Amino acid sequence: MRLLFIADIFGRPGREAVEAVVPRLREELDLDLVVANGENAADGAGITDRLADKILASGVDCITLGNHTWHQRGFGTYLDTQPRIVRPANYLASNPGRGVTVVEARDGTPVAVVNLMGRLFVHPEPSCSPFEIAASTVAEAKAQAPVVLVDFHAEATSEKVAMGRHLAGRVTAVLGTHTHVQTSDAHVLSGGTAYITDAGMTGPHDSVIGVRTDLILRRFTTQMPVRFEPADGGVRLEGVVIECDGGGRASSIEAIRIDE
């Protein structure tokens, strides 16, 4: 099975890149399933019902989220009704939506998608430790599907590497998101778990992790509030392609970067 994970879709440039590239990639790479992180789809912060529907209609089978889940007002209702989207499993159980879902690959094979969020330097911090909840979350996923993809949305390299090792041999992939700069450490951990510290960003790379450079520099140099806006140059799709067997054991992971 060949799975594509698309790194954080940032603003309109990121959404347009997905719409332009994913249908072609599904054929060229002979993909069985496409999962994308959509936490920055709406102007770089959060996602709306309409944008999630558009992303799901453009060849993405499932959307994962992160610390910007609640940024757009009223999104909880959508999370409760759309099964093809997950928010961090270590949010409060009473929060809208789910942290584990199951979608079907091209041949009907069930694939579980899990979203977990780190606690180091992430705001707002999730209610409980991703390490504490990982066992029950993975058990819930594995009871429904042999193939399990985990989007671990976290800031600290150490926390992401640790989660990869924590889940090695227990899931198909642990894929880091949130920092938006693709790392060069994609590899398969012992036990057949594909891992990367950060899958990158799908959006405008002529920027500071998606935001217009001049606005970010004004914020850093003046230390005054500045309203962020997505940049528009240097757009590319980034992510990873994973190969695994029917039992959910990964054999390869390759980082990809595709100019629009």
Interaction site with Fe ion (CB under 5 A): 8, 40, 66-67, 178
Complex with Fe ion: residue 14 or 248, whichever CB lies closer: 14
Instruction: List CB contacts of 100: < 8 A, sequence separation 6 or more.
Output: 86, 89, 112, 113, 114, 137, 140, 141, 144
Complex with Fe ion: residue 26 or 178, whichever CB lies closer: 178
Among the residues of 58-174, which ranges form H helices?
Answer: 75-81, 130-142, 157-167
Complex with Fe ion: residue 153 or 170, whichever CB lies closer: 153
Please, what is the minimum distance in Å from the beta carbon of residue 240 to Fe ion? 15
Strands (E), the chain: 2-6, 33-37, 62-64, 85-86, 100-104, 110-117, 147-153, 173-177, 187-189, 193-196, 203-206, 233-244, 250-259
3-state DSSP: the chain helix, strand, coil percent, rounded to 5?
25, 30, 45
DSSP codes joined into one string, 106-122? TTS-EEEEEEEE--TT-
Known active-site residue 166: no
Q: Which residue has the tokens 């430790």?
A: 129
Please, what is the minimum distance in Å from the beta carbon of residue 125 to Fe ion? 12
- Among residues 68, 153, 180, 205, the one annotated as catalytic is 68
Please, what is the minimum distance in Å from the beta carbon of residue 246 to Fe ion? 31
Complex with Fe ion: residue 160 or 178, whichever CB lies closer: 178
Pairing between strand 187-189 and 147-153?
A: unpaired
Please, what is the minimum distance in Å from the beta carbon of residue 1 to Fe ion? 26
Residue positions annotated with a catalytic role: 68
